Every structure is written in C-alpha cells, then in structure tokens.
Chain A
C-alpha cells in the first residue's frame, strides 16, 4: 500500500468509533506561537508599567512581584492555558488549532505540563548557548522541535512525543447545504447511454459539488463542472446533445444525479422496507 500523503489522522476510540482529525503543520503552529509571544510581551510590558507606579511605594515587593510574574509567564503561560482550557492557548485559539492526546482523548493537565516543560528542550540551541540572556529563550528557534516534527507522522515535537499529544486543526461545525431538488429534472434515458453506472461515492461528490455551486464564481464553477461532465459523457457514451453538455455542464451533472440517485434510492427502498429499519 502506498503511503498516503495527507494531514488526516484516523483514530479508533475505545467505543469502536472511528474519528478523523486534521493535523496542524509547522506553519500553523508557528503562527500560533508568534501570537502567543506577542501576548506575552504585551503582558510583560503592562506589568512593567504597573510596576513603575507601584515602585514608588513598595520597591521591594514590586521587584519580587515582577520576578514572580516573569516566572509565571515563562513557565506557566502554556501549562495553565492548555491544561485548563481544553488544549487551547490564546494563539492556538486564534489560529484555530488545539492539542489533544494521540488516542483522541482531550488533553489532561499532566499532558499539558509535560509537553510545555519540555518546550525548553525543543528550542534548545539558542536557549542553551545564551542561557544568561533570558529573553532569547522566547525566540522561536526550535531546532530539535522542528527536526522531530519533520521526522514523525503526526508532526510531534519532543514534548509531544513524551506527553503522547498532537496538535490538530479545529473547524467550525456547519451542516452542509442541501443539494438541489431533483424532482423536476429530466433523467437521462437508457437509449442515451451505454449502461455505465456511477458509484454512490461519485454521485455524492457531484451532489456536494452542486450544493456548493453558489460559493464559486460562475467561470470557475463552469470550468470545474465541464471537466467532470465531459469525462462522464465520454464514459457513458452519451448519445444526446454533446453541445449542450459543453455549454451547460452543471445541468448535465444534475441530470446524471437525478437519473442514478433516484434509481439507487428506489432500489434501496425495495430491499430494505422502512418498517424493518430501526430508525
């Protein structure tokens, strides 16, 4: 079997449910990291401004507080957010990605702790060479991290490997648009074709394409549809008006759908009577 090049990961949950997730690659994750960095810098700036006001009254407490806050922002920023916010950090949420376990389970607190403590190792070279310059640790060098990500199938950096986590994309949940109503479309007669029958998957693809046609520009939609319509007409040796197919490819696709989808549905209805189904 050839290795599939795709971002999809399939997980089988303990209840034998198959779930699919789309992985987030280094680009998305870097974007999220950059946003998080910006937030951290803003946080520190705000703290320093506040501290200048406080310093006049209680200099010692202010310095102590600032150092404590720096510690929190350096080490706990990600742990607290990912651990208590379902695998999101500010940047991840804005970019639309989140952390989950490779088993499909949501991120646990200890998972968040481990993957983020080991972040230090993932960005090692720069943080190790200049260990006295604390702010350099914020720079996204990530040598070992990127190396590990490019070598694992799930884009895991070292922290992810140890914690058994991966970063996946989050998409909005939208019910797909209803495909068009097929009742008033003239089906293709058996004299116009050679008996070739498209598979259900092909029919579904056509139906979904037609359902989404309003999202494409007319030219683009026409272009895509004519490829498909021509190929189909060729396969079924369509003897009707080929000129019409070229001019109105979407109409032809709708006819294909109307012909075969209805036929399939009727066959299905005969084999499995509605009463026998547990719906």
Chain B
C-alpha cells in the first residue's frame, strides 16, 4: 500500500466520519437511529485502524496527529457519560447518599464527636459561667443575641398586627434570610469538606471552631433566660443543619485520611477512590443544608407557640436519623 493510495482511499471515509461526529455531537443521544449508531461505531474502529497503520509505517506526524484528534473526539463521544434525569437525583438523595454515609460510618462518627463534643462542652460551661462568653465572641455579637431573643417583635410578628401587608413583609424578610442561610451555611460545609484534603487538618479546625462557637452562643442565650424562645427557634432546622455540617466534616476526614492510611492502595489511588465517595457526601450535605435553610427561614421564626415547634422539631430529628440510618437499605 502506497502512502498516496492510502490517502486517496481513506480520505472520503475520514471526511464522512467528521460529518457523523458533527451529527452525533449536535443531536440528543436518544434521537439517533440505530443505523446511525452502528455506522458511527464502525467508522470509529476504522479510524482507529488507520491511525495504527499510519503509526507503524511512519507515514508522517501531521497525518498521525490529524487522525489522533479525530479519533479522540470520537472516543469522547463514544464514552460520554449517560445523561442524568430527575430519577437520577432522587436515586442519589434517597439511596446512594445514605448508603455512602453508612459505608464510612467510622469517619462520620469521628466528625460528629469533633463537632458535637466541643459544642456540648462549651454550652454547659458557658451556661454555668456566662462571663466566659466574652472570651469566645465580641461584646457586639453578645449584645445582638441579647436583643434578638428578648424583644418580642424582632424575630417574630405580633399576632394582633396581622394583616395582608404585614404577611407580605414577613415573606419578604424571610426570603432574604433564606438566601443568606443557603449562601452562608452551605459555604461553611463545603469549605469544611474541601480543607480536609490537607491531611484533614482544615476540617478538624473548622469542626472544632464551629462547634465551640455554636455551643457558646447557645449557652450564653440560655443563661440570659430565653430558653423557650431560643430552643423553639433552633430545634427544627438544627436537625438538618448540625447533622449536615458533621457529615461534610466526615467527608473531609475521609479524603484527608487517604494520604495517611491508604491501606493496600497507593496514596493517589486511595485518594481517588475515597474522593468519589467524599464528593458525593459533600453534595448530599449541601442538599440537607438547603432544606435546613428553608426550615430556618420560613418555619423556625413563625409566630407559633413553642410546644408545636418542639413537636415538629422532634419529628424532624427523628426523620433525619431514620433517613441516614435506614434510607436505601435492601429489603431484608
């Protein structure tokens, strides 16, 4: 076979393949007819064969490069990941995410201890000794908490003043808070996860820091005697919010530990393998925090007696536990 003959013979085939490439790339996968798919796959193998032939016969680097690029693009399309659907999202949220959570329960437990441990300790300490609170937070922040939970009309509206206008204002104010909670809390959780890759140090720092701050706030507000209002406010969204931050932390520890304890794998492969799961855990935690933000913005501050909030809050804590513990299990 002469190079010139080869070129003359195969050129039309390559141009055809370019045409099919443009076609398959511009059309939805499901719209392609079976003939088109078969033709594409045959052409792909032909180009692969041509490339090897050009390589073994040293027929020129330019030609090799051309065929290589052509084939790479075809390869890309041929191995394109299957397009996701709404079903994929549900599958992830209700099956895969809780399963991955249970697979790595050890890391999750450690993260929960690192987060809830300091939280409870600083809560108890500061509730008994409120003067310590000034060591954790600025005086301005403390004054703000004091005001927030003592005055009657700042966090919730007076029921007697209820009218359409005030309801509209309420919704308006709540919407701004919802945006804030999503941006702030999901940001913290994702940072907490991402920093874990440096041997988990960043994650441990974030967990401890947030645990202590949240515990100190709770202790301080309770020491002022606003127990009913404060607990009524936090009990509902706390279920999703606190758990999700601990989960993001667990994901961070998971990637961080890959470099320390890779097991039978090389450190990089261990990182890749656990990274897959950890990324999914972080995204699941982000979803939980969006749920928490909606609860926190629209339900938690509602002007309803605290007993109802405790009831709903208790139910939410129970659902989170059920969700993480049992969702996605095989039927026995």
Which A residues fall within an 8 A CB radius of B? Answer: 13, 15, 17-21, 58-68, 70-71, 74-75, 86, 100, 104-106, 108-110, 113-114, 117-121, 124, 128, 131, 144, 158, 161-164, 171, 173-176, 178, 199-201, 204-205, 207-208, 211-212, 261, 265, 268-269, 272, 274, 277, 279
| Contacting pair B191 A110 (CB below 8 A) | no
| Contacting pair A71 B75 (CB below 8 A) | no
**Given A19-B68, A67-B180, A204-B61: A117 touches B193 (CB 8 Å cut-off):** yes
Closest A residue to B169 by CB, please name it: A60
List the 5 closest A-B pairs by CB distance, nearest first: A64-B179, A60-B172, A67-B179, A162-B275, A204-B60
| Contacting pair A59 B197 (CB below 8 A) | no
| Contacting pair A13 B75 (CB below 8 A) | yes
| Contacting pair B191 A120 (CB below 8 A) | yes
Which of B7, B14, B62, B75 lies in contact with A208, CB distance below 8 A?
B62
Enumerate chain A residues within 8 angstroms of B202, measured Cβ to Cβ.
Answer: 121, 124, 128
Cα of A244 to Cα of B182 in the assembled complex, Å: 78
Enumerate chain B residues within 8 angstroms of A66, measured Cβ to Cβ.
Answer: 179
| Contacting pair A175 B66 (CB below 8 A) | yes
B contacts with A: majority SS: helix
Enumerate chain A residues within 8 angstroms of B283, measured Cβ to Cβ.
Answer: 113
Closest A residue to B76 by CB, please name it: A106
| Contacting pair B194 A119 (CB below 8 A) | yes
- Nearest CB of B to A71, in Å: 4
The stretch of B77-85, B126-134, B143-151, B299-307 in contact with A is B77-85
- Nearest CB of B to A54, in Å: 12
Cα of A66 to Cα of B72 in the assembled complex, Å: 41
| Contacting pair B190 A117 (CB below 8 A) | yes
Cα of A18 to Cα of B67 in the assembled complex, Å: 11
Cα of A95 to Cα of B173 in the assembled complex, Å: 43
Q: Does B3 contact A (CB under 8 A)?
A: yes
- For window 1-16 of B, CB contacts with A under 8 Å fall at 1-5, 7, 9, 11, 14-15
Cα of A15 to Cα of B51 in the assembled complex, Å: 14
Enumerate chain B residues within 8 angstroms of A205, measured Cβ to Cβ.
Answer: 60-61
- Nearest CB of A to B90, in Å: 15
